[in-house]
Structure 1
Amino acid sequence: MPNNRPYLFYELTNSICSVCLRKVEAKIVIEDERVYMLKTCMRHGREKVLIASDAAYYKKCREFLKPAEMPLRWNTPVRYGCPYDCGLCPDHEQHSCLTLVEVTDRCNLQCPICYAESSPHRESFRSLEQIEAMLDAIVRNEGEPDVVQISGGEPTIHPQFWDILDMAKRKPIKHLMVNTNGIRIAQDREFARRLADYMPGFEIYLQFDSFEAHALRELRGADLRDVRRRAVEHLNEFNVSTTLVVTLKKGLNDAEIGDVIRYGLKQRAVRGVTFQPIQAAGRTEKFDPATDRLTLSEVRRHIIDQSGVFRPEDIIPVPCHPDCLAMGYALKLGDEVVPLTGMIDPNVLLEGGRNTIVFEQDTSLKDRIFELFSTAHSPSSSALSLKNLLCCLPMAAVPDHIGYDNVFRVIVMQFLDAYNFDVRSVKKSCVHIAHPDGRIIPFDTYNLFYRDGREEMLNTIREEIAPAK
């Protein structure tokens, strides 16, 4: 009788040890329709990490691949091997879809969960000269950057906040965002009104984790329900495009996913919701990676089960980085919400052509959407073009007469940490952070290796790989 292993050995990759961050070989295995990473560090032993709760969806992600889009230049040479050469080095496989510029370490909250470890006790504000140099580095890499996000700390408390926005708007950036906890917007109606002056091509990325006081205290250290309510009221009043951003912890606020989507759909200014499972990096109080982490496929299933809007075919992998990004689009037609993603022909998407919505039986829906979208086809055609729809960015290009107000997106954005780190995946990372020295570094590796003196550990590993001569 053969002695079979309890799993199916599916793939082989490289990861890192969650303790010492040294590269280790890792098996990807399927066991009971769940996907695990098995890795062994010769110093710190064996680890088994759940990376997907849905093996079928994990396999589907391998089908959603498209040719990599490169930046205009590289920032570092390949010397030590991924992930120790950031960034971006010539071995990276994706340009910057979204780049963060952190303008301060200071924050008006001290969240128990914070990848940047920001707090009121940190004092540094980057100068306008430093910030412009970081923006210029992004432009040199991208030409016309798709999305740049002004972040922190809390960027709205920077004493030169408006100067920063004015400077960024003068750059050839297609879409500018501000990542904020919303306190300043809630407290100051005039502040919100002034934000509207930067529209279009501007968006608020608003922290919005829960409707429950206990969950907000655990994630943010304070009951922010009234702050959230007043911030959204002010953003709605001036119709400032807004994405609600939910940091997710298993068993704490994952049962509210559907509630947040339905709430967002009712808000005039809200263009979508982004769900981000906690990355085990930075400050992670009361977070146990063994029990509290959520995988992308778990969040996707919650969206499908809880929202009442999106079906399995409507939440699909994003081709530039399918391991870590999933998304769905819907069209808001008054009080009615029509999911669009399931109508898109994936073959056209993956071939790099224009995304095409395919209508099968619902001709009344086809007629209604044709009234709203200009097309290259006759009204009797069976397909409708919606340029640039399937991207992880807030950049669905739609005709002026329908407007960005009518498009609603849901995104799952999972960041890699030392537990689920996969070299294959981080090479495709398209969410990056601008380093003050001009490098553009993937978000995942920046938080592991480059923040707050962590590069000292990285240099030790580099010396082991390539000892000084």
Structure 2
Amino acid sequence: MIASLPSFRTHLKHTRSRCPVCHDLCPAEVWKTNATPSKVYLTRTCPEHGEASMCISSDARFYWMSKGSDDNACCGSGACCADPTGNDGTLGRNALAEKGQTVETLSTCLALIEIVDSCNLACPTCFAASPTGVNEKLDYHSLENIQERIEGVLDRKKNIEILQLSGGEPTLHPQFFELLDWIHERDGIDYVLVNTNGVLIAKDDVFLTELGQRARRGNFQLYLQFDGTGPEAQKALRGGDLRAMKQRVMERCAQENIPVTLAMTVTPQNVAELWSTIQFGLAHDNCRGVSFQPMFWSGRMPDGIAANQLTPEASRLNAADIILGCVDQSDGTIKFEDFTPLPCGDPNCATIGYLLKTPLGVRSISDFIDFSTVQDFLQDKVRYELADLQQCGCENTALGELLHKFEMEEKDTFRLFIKPFMDSWTWDEDRIDRCCTHVIRPDGKLDSFCRYYHSGIQNS
């Protein structure tokens, strides 16, 4: 818990959050400090465990004032006052359901499906808490089950813009390539991402060749687990130094023209390696960018890291920390103006930026594009309307059109993507109201990624 809070502060909004002890929903407020730089905090009050606060933006310039359902400002049954509406507060679903607003009716920009539950690494940290298991101990979902769940989403949604295969380690699935072939032939799926630690790619020549054949069909990319350029975070996150293996994966993927995005879990141990990670990616022609994901407290955590929840600000990072670090470490190559919140979902859920690869070298995109002139979508985030919740903002904004154009010209652009997932400490129910990153659950239903992987309620 935070021992002392600034006495001079400005209230921004009411919402609901979760108690970091019992994980129950409880009333909360978002506020900012009246200091320079101004920071944004989320404070929630649990009737049993009291008040807890977390800094959710270390610089208020990179926090967007957005509000979801009005019901988020009300107390649920687990709060200090009774809820006259009878809302039981369960996962925030009831108030939304009354208005027809469920994850099933929200726009799905990305649908993630776990096809393997076990993994070939035993990482100390894992948001999915995947057990180690290969060969006869491999725990995986049948091809028929996976296809049935994907078909169900397509029947309900008609289209999946991005389908992300995850786990566990999805490349271990015994029918992995059969699944990729089926997805490629199936109408309604625009793009496929595969989360991977790269182990199989690094050592199996046959697998690499087969993967290259599928990648060259297009609309395919690997999300490669990458923990920075130094050894400290590697050992803390993965239990060993995997840098040589990751370098081999990048080289072998380049041989087969397999596009890769580096997926970096950012911690205090590697936050100083943001720019060097970007440089590592830029040195490989098949690398399309870096996805920065500040570590969130879900799944498997070692006791030493979990204990740091008692002093969360010493061990937690947010999107503003990533933006500030990228700009500071790049010696002018990256600028604050290079970043913009994504128009789909809640504007605090994802921030995107680009570098341009030109004949004269890597350039800041703000030298050519002024994002502020196409951010009219932010005006709609003060209060969400039902139609706004159900439709992706990218389809209706000039910024969305511009970003789609960048993605089509991937050989000339290098994407910088910041995705701060939520846990109890950072939970803002307003973001769930407009979530467009969904998980296809084992029962075939869709759920918000953050809610599904949140400690204590996964698979509920």
Give the structure-2-normalised TM-score: 0.80
Using the TM superposition, give the Cα deviation of residue 334 of structure 1 relative to its aligned residue in structure 2, in angstroms. 3.9
Q: Deviations over 1:325-348 (max 9, x none)?
A: 111022212461233357145454
> Would the alpha carbon gap of residues 131 and 40 (structure 1) be closer, same or farther in structure 2, given more than 3 Å must change?
same
Could you say which residue in structure 1 is the equivalent of 2:58?
53
Provide the secondary structure at the position in 2 that maps to 1:283.
Answer: coil
Q: Distance between the aligned counterparts of 1:107 and 1:333, measured in 2?
A: 39
Residues 129, 299 of structure 2: 8 Å contact kept: yes
> Would the alpha carbon gap of residues 64 and 40 (structure 1) be closer, same or farther in structure 2, given more than 3 Å must change?
closer
Q: Deviations over 1:389-418 (max 9, x none)?
A: 436xxx7454xxxx4222210000000111
- Give 2:101's match in structure 1, choosing from 75, 88, 91: 91
Q: Deviations over 1:304-353 (max 9, x none)?
A: 1113422111112112221121110222124612333571454545359x
Structure ranking higher in helix proportion: 2
Could you say which residue in structure 2 is the equivalent of 1:446?
452
**Match for 1:339: what amino acid?**
S
Could you say which residue in structure 2 is the equivalent of 1:325?
350
- What is the count of residue pairs matched by the alignment? 397
Could you say which residue in structure 1 is the equivalent of 2:224?
206
Q: Distance between the aligned counterparts of 2:51 and 2:260, measured in 1?
A: 43
The answer to whether residue 185 in structure 2 is matched with residue 159 in structure 1 is no
**Match for 2:110: what amino acid?**
L
- Give 1:112's match in structure 2, choosing from 117, 121, 124: 124
Using the TM superposition, give the Cα deviation of residue 212 of structure 1 relative to its aligned residue in structure 2, in angstroms. 2.2
Could you say which residue in structure 2 is the equivalent of 1:339?
364
Q: Distance between the aligned counterparts of 1:243 and 1:196, measured in 2?
A: 15
Using the TM superposition, give the Cα deviation of residue 204 of structure 1 relative to its aligned residue in structure 2, in angstroms. 0.4
The answer to whether residue 48 in structure 2 is matched with residue 24 in structure 1 is no
Could you say which residue in structure 2 is the equivalent of 1:436?
442
Q: Deviations over 1:86-105 (max 9, x none)?
A: 99953248411111110011
> Would the alpha carbon gap of residues 7 and 246 (structure 1) be closer, same or farther in structure 2, given more than 3 Å must change?
same
Residues 274, 412 of structure 1: 8 Å contact kept: yes
Using the TM superposition, give the Cα deviation of residue 5 of structure 1 relative to its aligned residue in structure 2, in angstroms. 3.6
**Match for 1:388: what amino acid?**
E
Q: Distance between the aligned counterparts of 2:276 and 2:251, measured in 1?
A: 18
Q: Deviations over 1:199-227 (max 9, x none)?
A: 31000000011222332111011221111
Could you say which residue in structure 2 is the equivalent of 1:381?
none
Residues 88, 439 of structure 1: 8 Å contact kept: no
Residues 231, 241 of structure 2: 8 Å contact kept: yes
Q: Deviations over 1:22-62 (max 9, x none)?
A: 2211121212311111111111111011111011221xx23
The answer to whether residue 336 in structure 2 is matched with residue 312 in structure 1 is yes
165-174 vs 178-187, which moves further: 165-174
Q: Deviations over 1:437-466 (max 9, x none)?
A: 1211111000126766x63xxxxxxxxxxx
Using the TM superposition, give the Cα deviation of residue 433 of structure 1 relative to its aligned residue in structure 2, in angstroms. 0.7
Could you say which residue in structure 2 is the equivalent of 1:376?
none
Could you say which residue in structure 2 is the equivalent of 1:388?
401
Provide the secondary structure at the position in 2 that maps to 1:26.
Answer: strand
32-41 vs 134-143, which moves further: 134-143
> Would the alpha carbon gap of residues 183 and 115 (structure 1) be closer, same or farther in structure 2, given more than 3 Å must change?
same
**Match for 2:31: what amino acid?**
V
Residues 37, 49 of structure 1: 8 Å contact kept: yes
> Would the alpha carbon gap of residues 351 and 15 (structure 1) be closer, same or farther in structure 2, given more than 3 Å must change?
closer
Q: Distance between the aligned counterparts of 2:406 and 2:67, measured in 1?
A: 19
Residues 299, 455 of structure 2: 8 Å contact kept: no
* Aligned 1:43-82 pairs, distance under 5 A: 43-58=48-63, 61-62=64-65, 80=88
Q: Distance between the aligned counterparts of 1:237 and 1:119, measured in 2?
A: 32
Give the structure-1-normalised TM-score: 0.78
Could you say which residue in structure 1 is the equivalent of 2:237?
219
- Give 1:173's match in structure 2, choosing from 167, 183, 189: 189
Residues 87, 94 of structure 2: 8 Å contact kept: no
The answer to whether residue 269 in structure 2 is matched with residue 247 in structure 1 is no
> Would the alpha carbon gap of residues 432 and 87 (structure 1) be closer, same or farther in structure 2, given more than 3 Å must change?
farther
Residues 280, 417 of structure 1: 8 Å contact kept: yes
> Would the alpha carbon gap of residues 450 and 264 (structure 1) be closer, same or farther in structure 2, given more than 3 Å must change?
same
Provide the secondary structure at the position in 1 that maps to 2:454.
Answer: helix
> Would the alpha carbon gap of residues 316 and 262 (structure 1) be closer, same or farther in structure 2, given more than 3 Å must change?
same
Q: Distance between the aligned counterparts of 1:143 and 1:341, measured in 2?
A: 36
> Would the alpha carbon gap of residues 255 and 64 (structure 1) be closer, same or farther in structure 2, given more than 3 Å must change?
farther
The answer to whether residue 213 in structure 2 is matched with residue 193 in structure 1 is no
> Would the alpha carbon gap of residues 261 and 86 (structure 1) be closer, same or farther in structure 2, given more than 3 Å must change?
farther
Provide the secondary structure at the position in 2 that maps to 1:405.
Answer: coil
Q: Distance between the aligned counterparts of 1:259 and 1:449, measured in 2?
A: 32
Q: What stretches of structure 2 of length at least 5 have no aligned partner?
A: 1-5, 69-85, 379-397
235-244 vs 86-95, which moves further: 86-95
**Match for 2:65: what amino acid?**
R
